[in-house]
Structure 1
Amino acid sequence: MYKAKINYQRASFLTSAPDIKALPADEGIEVAFAGRSNAGKSSALNTLTRQNSLARTSKTPGRTQLINTFGLDAERRLIDLPGYGFAKVPLAVKEKWQKSLAEYLMKRDSLKGLVVLMDIRHPLKDLDQDLISWAVGSDLPVLVLLTKADKLGPGARKKVVLEVREAALAFMGDVTVQAFSSLNKLGLPELEQVLDLWFGVAEQPDSATTN
């Protein structure tokens, strides 16, 4: 099993920002987590950092309205981007979130990788595909994390992972696909290995497993 070279448990909250002007200086390396409002993004960040409440989780999707920054060390940060695509959010609020998200993705030079989280039962919605297309167009590596993988049996889970990997070929970029479960830690070593690579402390990982 892969042993992370960065101690993600050391992650600490730095700031919540309404836009990129309020973020820490644009230097070092950032890896951003993005996904639909019910994709389990906060749970994944808490699992990665072994902290129960680093990123707030809620039974009401769409509550992450700010760009949340967590420091790993002096040069490396995790970014929790506003959730997108939740229908019950008022249109004006949704548009504000989308603007902050787009601004960060287009203008943040320290961004070196994007984790796109999707419920394994509902992968590759239109907004997910738009986000991946943008990242590929900007030569940014993408890890598609298929969350809540414990909701499917091994056979069904493997089938979805293979289908999404095949679909990802159409993006013609550096797109990796991995099943993940915050409940039983499935896919956590693979997530850590990709992040270590992006943070510059690991070599290129082998192809992710299909479980």
Structure 2
Amino acid sequence: MKLLFKSIWILVLIFNFSSILWLIIGGTANFNRSMDLVSFITLSVYGTSSIVLCIISLRILIKKRKVIFDMSVYVIGIVLIFSLLFCSYQNFLGVDTRGWLYPYSYSDPLKKTPDGRYEYQLILINTGQYNSYEQLHFKNVKTKEEKYIPIDINMSESDGRTEGSNDWSWTVIKSTSNLNYYELSTKKELGMPSKKFLINISEGTSKRIN
């Protein structure tokens, strides 16, 4: 009984420690951003409580290693085990997996190129993190073929993007003399860094031109 009880207790301690690591990694999106408010509060309340409970549990387990477990130790142990499980649950609950286990994105509404051949929109992925990036989504109106073209807008230079009302977009596209190329400009008035790019549809590339 003593060995089984101690084994369960130790497994719960390991599980709880894992939940703290998960909270730290998840709250910072695998260290790609500062910890968000929800994760910080969870870490402050339940993470700190977990550490205290772990220390108490370890002291009891080490102290009682060569002493017979009496009923009071079992009662305290059960209380600590359930407390650790509750804190572990809260630690796991406070993790946002967006931005590291899978990306999160924002986009403007679909617009048509001036020649009507494509629908396009700008997609901002993992904005505000070290692993953020941007891409253009193009869809051929006739064939329905889709392309995702990387574009280096670098939203870290933005003072804060906004969204317009009704018919709006973060970018403006102009046609060029070559059907494979479009000229794209970002809208500074909506908080985008002021930049201009040459988009090569056939090759799926973008090149800054200002």
TM-score (norm 1): 0.24
Higher relative contact order (CA 8 A, sep 6+): 1
TM-score (norm 2): 0.24
